[in-house]
Chains A and B, each alone.
Chain A
Amino acid sequence: GAGVSQSPSNKVTEKGKDVELRCDPISGHTALYWYRQSLGQGLEFLIYFQGNSAPDKSGLPSDRFSAERTGGSVSTLTIQRTQQEDSAVYLCASSLGTGADWQYFGPGTRLTVT
């Protein structure tokens, strides 16, 4: 079946502009996660959605970052007034959300802020 998909694969934007990154999780996965990977670094947790529960936003680095998940499926990560330090690969993952399940990752969106 289809894996996690993300769009766009690459995004170049000017400093100060807003960007939206999209994630389509695996069908039937109730849990969805956003991570950020800066150049040469490990992954940093951003936000977590589980079913219809309120998202856990504890990893968002500033109030310029927000995310929503519509209908328990597709998620959009929005970064307002982008800064150069926002340049990174943004990875989305989904999981069944039950038991000792593991997370399946999408290919990521490479964001470059110029």
Chain B
Amino acid sequence: AQKITQTQPGMFVQEKEAVTLDCTYDTSDQSYGLFWYKQPSSGEMIFLIYQGSYDEQNATEGRYSLNFQKARKSANLVISASQLGDSAMYFCAMREGQRLQAQLWSRKSGAAGNKLTFGGGTRVLVKP
């Protein structure tokens, strides 16, 4: 079964409007981290926002916010006031096995606790 599912292969959004990109995940771990990356046509992966499973507040970074619904295992990205430069592929990713111990994060050893598992991506095209 897929661990990260992005059900929207592509979407159009009008400039200056908000857009929500869906992401659902599957894990049996209690502790994990969720990430969103942007990949413009240049190919570079740009980190946007991070949400830890134990974070009580939804993460926000400028025009990006993460609508984290733990019970539903969803971590949707909201981009407000879309700009033409937001046109890109957007990937949701998860890192499993983070463990909160007395405010310190630790992980499973090796790649199991460090590698990112990515969804298939959503292509966003912002229209002027």
Contact = CB atoms under 8 A, between A and B. Distances in A.
Nearest to B114: A48
B118 A43 contact: yes
Given A42-B121, A100-B105, A33 B91 contact: no
A50 interface: yes
Interface residues of A, number: 30
A31 interface: yes
Interface in B22-69: 33, 35, 37, 42-47, 50, 52
A100 B52 contact: yes
B118 to A, nearest CB: 4
Nearest to B98: A100
Given A42-B91, A42-B120, A108 B115 contact: no
B20 interface: no
A91 B93 CA distance: 15
A48 B111 contact: yes
B45 A33 contact: no
Contacts of A102: 35, 47, 50
B91 A103 contact: no
Contacts, number: 71
Contacts of A45: 111, 115-117
Nearest to A89: B43
Contacts of A100: 33, 50, 52, 98, 105
A56 B110 CA distance: 6
A108 B33 contact: no
Given A45-B111, A91-B45, A103 B105 contact: no
A106 interface: yes
Interface of B: 4, 33, 35, 37, 42-47, 50, 52, 91, 93, 98, 104-105, 110-112, 114-121
